[in-house]
Amino acid sequence: MNDMARVERVVDTGQAKITASDVQVHYGDTHAIKDVNVNIGDKTVTAFIGPSGCGKSTFLRCLNRMNDTIDVCRVKGNILLDGEDIYDKRVDPVQLRAKVGMVFQKPNPFPKSIYDNVAYGPRIHGLAKNKAELDEIVEKSLRRGAIWNEVKDRLDAPGTGLSGGQQQRLCIARAVATEPEVLLMDEPCSALDPIATAQVEELIDELRQRYSVVIVTHSMQQAARVSQKTAFFHLGNLVEFGETGQIFTNPQDPRTESYITGRIG
């Protein structure tokens, strides 16, 4: 336990975008997240790893209040985004989600054209004054999603007609189109083949220049490849959080070591 405290202090010195303290999540009678304290830095990729059902996705969904849609879910504790409590009564989750974008496990483009998929967010948030500006946003977002060259000739084609990897990159483009500050990714590559996964990972590394990226992943290799910080969750507890290199080479907690060496999980 003392080891964990030391690790946290190291992180505290960095530039924190999101600060979570004493977060508890209950699903009905189930205590899904217990006392999680974590600081997520700006312009870094933070990976959440851990076995299935350990609460990493649940915690990720707390960060943009997607858990609000689940009736039985209750969140306690503080989560600060730039020093503002996102669970404050005055916060409208809609505004929060414009700032904290999300990419889901399964690619879920809208059954509309590629253009409309990307333009939807900017439209509802009023980010473009006219068609030309909107076109510009769409192009910029698709370029950031590293999919522009593949779809620039068929922006009117349905987004659902793309391949799995392209769909996921389209979803990333859609998420960045609203100019978020934080991008949450919930196992974005679990439905993709290795080549598409490599493309998405490359993209995540580029996105780090602008956004704070939080990625939940089942693959420890992926966490090691793309992230600077790694958090290991186990049974609803944040067991260890630190520099990715340190977590994978010199874990402080025996549970982390067991997990990354494949003895549990």
Instruction: List contacts with other proteins (CB under 8 A).
Output: 64, 66, 69, 71, 94-95, 97-98, 101-104, 106, 108-111, 120-121, 124-125, 158, 160, 171, 174-175, 177-178
Task: Name which of 103 and 138 has its Cβ closer to other proteins.
Answer: 103
Q: How far is the CB of 200 from other proteins (least distance, A)?
A: 17
CB of 127 to other proteins, least distance (A): 10
C-alpha distances (whole Å) from 124 to each of 4, 79, 95, 119, 177 are 43, 26, 11, 9, 11
Nearer of residues 87 and 120 to other proteins, judged by Cβ:
120
Cβ-based neighbours of 227, under 8 Å, separated by 6 or more: 44, 45, 46, 47, 215, 244
Report, in Å, the least distance between residue 209 CB and other proteins: 21
Closest to 93 (Cα-Cα) out of 110, 115, 70: 70
Three-state DSSP class for residue 17: strand
**What is the nearest approach in angstroms of other proteins to the Cβ of residue 172?**
11
As measured in angstroms, the least distance from the Cβ of 104 to other proteins is 6
User: Toward other proteins, which CB reaches closer, 108 or 228?
Assistant: 108
Nearer to other proteins, 204 or 239 (CB): 204
Q: Is the C-alpha dihedral spanning 72, 78, 81, 86 positive or negative?
A: positive
CB of 120 to other proteins, least distance (A): 6
List all residues 6 or more positions away from 209 whose beta carbon is below 8 Å from its beta carbon.
43
Transcribe 129-178 into DSSP letters: SSHHHHHHHHHHHHHHTT-HHHHTT-TTSBGGGS-HHHHHHHHHHHHHTT
